[in-house]
Structure 1
Amino acid sequence: MILLFFVNYLDRVNVGVAALRMNADLGFSTTVFGLGAGLLFVGYIVFELPSNLVLRKVGARRWIAVITASWGVCAAATAFVSDETTFYVLRFLLGACEAGFLPGMVFYLTEWFPRQRRGRSTALFMLAVPLTVALGTPLSTLLMSVESADFEGWRFMFFAEGAPAVLLSVLVLRLLPDRPEDARWLAEHEKVALRAVLTAERDSVAKVGSASLRAALRDVRVYAIGMIGFGISGGLYALTFFLPQIVAGFRNSYGVTLSTYEIGLVTAFPSALAAVSMWWYARRSDRVGERIRHIALPLFPAAIALGVALYLRSPVLVMLAITVTTVGAFIVLPVWWQLPGMFLTGPAAAGGIGVIAALGNSSGFVAPYLTGWMRDLTGDYRTGMLVIAGFMIAAALGTLALARDSTFGNSFS
């Protein structure tokens, strides 16, 4: 699952590295790039809920295999982009194909892990995200060095990083069981014990929350959690897509000239530190049985750091501030994903998680487009980052407001 998510996220965000050369080769403005980067999430939003409902109906093994193969084809096809239109279409299709993967895997984890272990399990799975940026960014810059007169390096990078997903889809069919009952590595008594714990948890959740899809779609908590996710993810997507260009801009701002590979290494550092911190933080949340403060408190310094980063007078200080933002946003993601399971179960969980993921990932369209548009309008990234920082503050305040609901305000330990 971690390997799948690594490839999934890499195929989603490697466009940020490609932009170092692709924009000049194809004549894309920052606004055009930001719109294309963000259009992935339009497809993502449209297909996220129906994809999660299909997964619950046909099983994770078959549906994740289909999703993996289809996004691999679209990611590899991005190597043949020729103009704005093909860029926009392929990014939309990539989002449509990827849409069911993350919410599907989050729902899948609720079918396997009890609540008190689910936070660290989700964090272990989501380590793929910071690891993708930490390891995938330097990898992408290396692949971009492989080029010829007829096939630019960024095209080779898209093709080389998209093709593995098609191969992994075959492994999914062989290795991913739909339910604990299908797991060959569990003894029969372990299957029975795990199912008893999960069934008892679902019964208790159904008493205070929603079990039907219709009830989930009418539950205001679904939309509140989704919008909190919007604020958390906004800072991450803005940095993921534009940080390589910001670092490349150190040449004009500070007189620091870096090669494409060096830009990849500098960009990777904040996410590498986030990867080290994420599992520990989710484990702490599981251990003390608390979610709300574990989500809200890191977002305040993360937002402040993002807002001031580009006003600092040293590239080292800029990267330190960006590291605070990156770590703060990444460590709360696995904890945030535990909120739906506190009041949704069964069909409500499948549908509600799909809606929450769609709302959260809508920032993947808004943040890059807004950042690119403001960059073209003002000449720098400062205003865009201030706006995104405001989204993160709103997410922190919204999370604290959830504590008024007894579902989230009480410890579950």
Structure 2
Amino acid sequence: MPTLVSTLSLATRTPARIRRRILPFVFLLYIVAYLDRANVAFAKMPMTADLHFSEAVFGFGAGIFFIGYLLLEIPGALIVERWSARKWMSRILLTWGLTTVLIGFVRTPVQFYSARFLLGAAEAGFFPGIIVYLNHWFTRRDRARAMAGFILGIPISLVLGAPLSALILQLHWFGLAGWRWVFILQGLPAVVLGVVTLFYLTDHPRDARWLDREERDWITAELEAEKQEKRAMGHVSVWQALLQRNVLLLALALCLANTGGYAFVFWLPTIIRNRSSLSVSWATACAALPFGVGIVGLLLGSRSSDRTGERRLHTALPLMMQAVFFMLAGLPGQSFPLVLLWLCLTAVVGYSWPPPFWVLPTATLGESAAAASIGLINAIGNLGGFIGPTVVGYLLSRNFTYTTAILFLSSCFLVAGVLILNVRVRRVVT
């Protein structure tokens, strides 16, 4: 019979061991994943000049990634739930790494569109799959911080990717332009990690040989108790989950937030160059600064959300602030340091809301329905990754100004925040 002291010890050391084992690795995976998704932003200026791509061609090519991503998003999350995270993640890493390398050899718009579409299809299911996987390992009280440890890979990948890409742009090995080497060299790590994943990840706590038996029993019992609590709330089928009001609100809000967010990422180096006298390489490297300070917002937002147990306002208010700061960055007639300040503040609040956002849907549904709802939310949400770049590319190709494009994107952030305020949160979610 476990004593109170031994139970408290287990409650402290078991989550700590799980964090040390899992979070650094999935953090590394997401750094590689997001860099392979977003490195087109760092290659944009020399690539479009070399291949004579218009802003509309670039925007559509950057965005069509998310159409391919949409096709396998929900099945990918369900595969992790019902089959094996380890094997599915390995498959994803191998195929997206090889496809990223392929982008380094495109020469026409159709080839660019096709390669980006295939990259989206290859990576589909990764993000919701990891969220479902983390739900297999972390209890409700630790989930937002676990999500933050994972999502931290986004700004870190961009902080590292901006100066790294700026350096790679200087290469001209074997007669290939530097922008081509950006894709080739940044795609190869995913292939290597695809092999490592097969041997490193463990699907469930019951299979974890790196935990003591009592630690395995403790975390399994804790997670099972949460499952029983969900079951007591009533059975919800997959299709019922897909039609729930909260799920649809979250999906639409994420779509709007991503409409602004991905356009922000894909055009940030170009905006910096447009508002300054920096060279292509220096503007690309300078893009690391907003992403770097965004890390602060991510850590503070997740910590505050976990400490208070509040998720909705921790998501909605930063989205509204993101709208204000990005709108200010788009106003003409400002000095470059002031524009850079607004861009940094946009990133700080922009990275603070994803961890509490992804806690909102996880505790109110049955296991399969939760997995499907996460996949649906992320799938619809990622349509914003297609809409934002495509619309911005169209506007700029039709001689609209960056100010007009930024005002459109800011309005998307604002409406997303309003939608989150209308989500009905049950106490169990926190």
Give the TM interval when normalised to the shorter protein.
Answer: over 0.9
In the TM superposition, what whole-angstrom CA distance separates every residue of 1:26-65 from its partner, at most 9, and x where no partner exists? 1100000000000000011111011222222321000100
In the TM superposition, what whole-angstrom CA distance separates every residue of 1:122-165 from its partner, at most 9, and x where no partner exists? 00111000111111111111111111473110111110000111
Where does 1:186-205 land on structure 2 (aligned, <5 Å)? 186-205=211-230
**Alignment-derived partner of residue 8 in structure 2:** none
SS at match of 1:81: coil
Q: C-alpha distance in 2, partners of 1:129/1:210? A: 35
Q: C-alpha distance in 2, partners of 1:84/1:228? A: 31
Where does 1:109-188 land on structure 2 (aligned, <5 Å)? 109-148=134-173, 150-188=175-213
Q: C-alpha distance in 1, partners of 2:410/2:288? A: 21
**Alignment-derived partner of residue 329 in structure 1:** 350
**Alignment-derived partner of residue 265 in structure 2:** 240
Where does 1:70-85 land on structure 2 (aligned, <5 Å)? 70-85=95-110
Q: C-alpha distance in 2, partners of 1:317/1:234? A: 24
**Alignment-derived partner of residue 94 in structure 1:** 119
1:276 Cα deviation from its structure 2 partner: 2.5
Contact 2:80 2:132 (8 Å CA) reproduced: no
Q: Among 259, 263, 269, which residue is 2:279 paired with?
A: 259
SS at match of 1:185: coil
**Alignment-derived partner of residue 392 in structure 1:** 413
Where does 1:26-105 land on structure 2 (aligned, <5 Å)? 26-105=51-130
Contact 1:40 1:365 (8 Å CA) reproduced: yes
Matched, 1:272 2:297: no
Q: C-alpha distance in 2, partners of 1:77/1:276? A: 35
1:290 Cα deviation from its structure 2 partner: 0.6
Q: AA paired with 1:40?
A: F
Q: AA paired with 2:314?
A: H
1:210 Cα deviation from its structure 2 partner: 5.3
Q: C-alpha distance in 1, partners of 2:377/2:420? A: 14
Matched, 1:372 2:393: yes
**Alignment-derived partner of residue 285 in structure 1:** 305
Contact 1:65 1:169 (8 Å CA) reproduced: yes
Where does 1:286-365 land on structure 2 (aligned, <5 Å)? 286-312=306-332, 313-365=334-386
1:78 Cα deviation from its structure 2 partner: 0.4
Contact 1:72 1:163 (8 Å CA) reproduced: yes
Q: C-alpha distance in 2, partners of 1:300/1:136? A: 28
Q: C-alpha distance in 1, partners of 2:310/2:428? A: 5
Q: TM-score, normalised by structure 1?
A: 0.94
Structure 1 unaligned regions, length at least 5: 251-255
Contact 1:209 1:343 (8 Å CA) reproduced: no
Q: C-alpha distance in 1, partners of 2:236/2:101? A: 39
Q: C-alpha distance in 1, partners of 2:414/2:283? A: 29
Q: C-alpha distance in 2, partners of 1:347/1:145? A: 48
1:206 Cα deviation from its structure 2 partner: 3.2
Q: 1:23 and 1:399, CA in 2 relative to 1: closer, same or farther beyond 3 A?
A: same
CA RMSD of aligned residues (A): 1.5
Q: AA paired with 2:365?
A: L
In the TM superposition, what whole-angstrom CA distance separates every residue of 1:226-248 from its partner, at most 9, and x where no partner exists? 11112222222111100111112
Q: TM-score, normalised by structure 2?
A: 0.91
1:209 Cα deviation from its structure 2 partner: 6.3
1:97 Cα deviation from its structure 2 partner: 0.6
Q: AA paired with 2:239?
A: R
Q: AA paired with 1:266?
A: C
1:280 Cα deviation from its structure 2 partner: 2.6
